[in-house]
A and B are shown apart, each in its own frame.
Chain A
Amino acid sequence: MKKQIDVQLKNVQKRFQNQVVVKNFDLEIEQGEFISLLGPSGCGKTTTLNMIAGFLDPDEGELLIKGKRMNGVPPYKRELGMVFQTYSLFPHMTVGENIGYGLKLRKVSKQEQAERIQKVLELVKLPHVADRYPKQLSGGQRQRIAIARALIVEPSLLLLDEPLSNLDAKLREELRDELKRLHQEIGVTTIFVTHDQEEALSLSDRIVVMNYGNIEQIGTPYEIYNQPKSEFVHTFIGKTNRLPGVVSSIDNMHVHVRTENGLMIKATQSTGNWTVGQSVTAFIRPEKIKLTTQSEKDTSDNSVNGTLDIASFLGAFTECKVSVGSTLLDVRMQEKVWTGNGQDGETVTCSWSAEDVFLMAEGGK
């Protein structure tokens, strides 16, 4: 059974003073989906969200929510919920009044208001703060209240505008898990705008990666990370080694690439149609490279010797920089795998599978 489509953007465009900030945006969001708009600042993600919210109107194209055309409909008639980066709680209202504001506008009876406020406060795990003022709460608590305020009206769509960006690292993670739990519990269709790839990867059913107003790729977190469709997606999501070079030969199994620094790299054939002499760029994720001492026997497709320049211990893993000839490789090493002693200047072997090499033709896809 095909799921119901909650939000539809059809060829949406937005310009600010002749500059196109959102180009030919096409997206369908299914009911109950958690979708992230991810990209660097200025990529058009916030503009897109503001169009869905109704703060901006598209210059071209159509926006449909629950099948109804929304172009020109003001935000207060859209029945949405929204959470902002700066919490945006009304400072002159108590927490209870803040949360109840949407119900008050909908002329819900006082008694029902009180019941629903209590219920939603319990949902965000802050049952005893209704009489306090926002200023008396911590940042994390304020954002929970803001979420409660958005959810209480039972919105058809929940919009999250970088809701975690103002919080410190630990709280951010805590609230991220909270968002995930709430989404699983309530199942409201959610659009989440963020520049933080980790947030997007951990929360989303699907991610829309944006750059300069264009959609670079739409896909599940797994697809975005492991099957990036463009160089931008590959470099924006996660760390990577970027190695420009030329296709030197092709055999049944592999494409052989000679990088500018003289490194020979094998990649799998299946990644595209390649011709000998073509300029390409090879990408390898730091965590896909295995680091071993030279004495160990290695059977990987790719295996090069180098010198360990810097090893920075970061707890869960160690970030290494390895010089291979004149190429500097970033390697992320899980501690258990490592058998050497991790001294700077040590001679090591870097190896990786041909499948983990991501090849891209110069100047595009």
Chain B
Amino acid sequence: MLKRFPYLFLLLPALILLLGVFVIPMLFILVLSFQGVEGQFSLENYKTIFTDVYYWEVLWKTIKISLYTVFFTLVLAFPVAMFMAKTPGKLRGLVTMLIICPHLISVVIRNFGWVVILGETGWINVTLMDLGLIEQPLRFMYNEVGVVIGLTDAFIAYMVLAIATSLYSIDQSLYKAASILGANRIQSFFHVTLPLSMPGVFAGITLVFSLSMSAYVTPALMGGTGVKVIPTLAFEQIMAVLNWPLGAALAILLLGCTVLLVTLFSRLVETKRYKEVFSS
């Protein structure tokens, strides 16, 4: 092992850190999730979760919100990534910076920003009402719509950068080859750009999906008490109800679900064709 990878020691600091702050705490949580009220080993928490339909509804809502977020980030990010790939030089750098710079601001602040825009007295509702298009303010906040908007805003940068990276690596002469063979711009997009951008698209989907599944701040702020997802539920159990074992079990459930879905997804896309593209 050491002979084949002589630079393995460079990973040591990161591995120690991960072990201390991630692996060991996760094991604690796993153990905690199997504790009963008295501290004894018990399957009680999982029984609660699997028998109470409420938890199933929350889990489904979490997945649904994550899928919507994936969809909207994907649709909005692809054209931006295309623009970046087709625009080399300074402008590309500027766009990259514009995409990254919102992340310099805390997601809490950004979510509060949405309140100003989407709230009942936010400018969208005020404008629509002033124009007489609506009589009652539309509900953008404290429901699933608000959470999806907030998450899309929070994670779109990951999607853009993931797709752009794979678009950058497409050999530009492939477009020339397609064109000379008779492909117009639309055909060349569907036959060359899209299939070759798939590694980035899949990476972006996986990333945004897992981030959305585990997001706490945005559902808490944009969803308020109206939208419960697994992370907010786990937080509530631990911090408010002080039922740590049930909170831990919810966390494990979330982890299990995310890993399962991401694995299924990558199995699905790893057909022969994309294997060729991915390994290049």
Contacts and interface: CB of A to CB of B under 8 A. Distances in A.
Interface of A: 53-55, 74-82, 84-86, 88-92, 101-102, 105-106, 133, 135, 149-150, 153, 159
Given A80-B180, A92-B195, A101-B178, 12 more contacts: A75-B176, A76-B179, A76-B184, A78-B180, A88-B171, A88-B174, A90-B174, A91-B276, A101-B191, A105-B182, A150-B180, A153-B182
A45 B178 CA distance: 22
A133 B276 contact: yes
A85 B181 CA distance: 16
B24 interface: no
B266 interface: no
Given A75-B179, A101-B178, A133-B276, A88 B173 contact: yes
Nearest to B181: A102
Contact of B182 (A53, A76, A88, A91): A76
B200 to A, nearest CB: 13
Interface in B237-280: 273-274, 276-277, 279-280
Given A84-B173, A88-B171, A91-B196, A101 B280 contact: no
27 contacts: A54-B180, A74-B184, A76-B181, A76-B183, A77-B182, A78-B180, A80-B180, A81-B180, A82-B180, A84-B177, A86-B171, A86-B173, A88-B176, A89-B177, A90-B178, A91-B196, A91-B276, A91-B280, A92-B196, A92-B276, A92-B277, A101-B181, A101-B191, A105-B187, A135-B276, A153-B181, A159-B180
Interface residues of B, number: 23
Q: Identify the interface centre among B174, B182, B196: most chain A CB within 10 Å of its CB.
A: B182
B49 interface: no
Contacts of B273: 92
Nearest to A152: B181
B126 interface: no
B192 interface: yes
A153 B181 CA distance: 8
A348 B171 CA distance: 56
Interface string B154-193: 0000000000000000010110111111111001000110
Nearest to B170: A91
A84 B179 contact: no
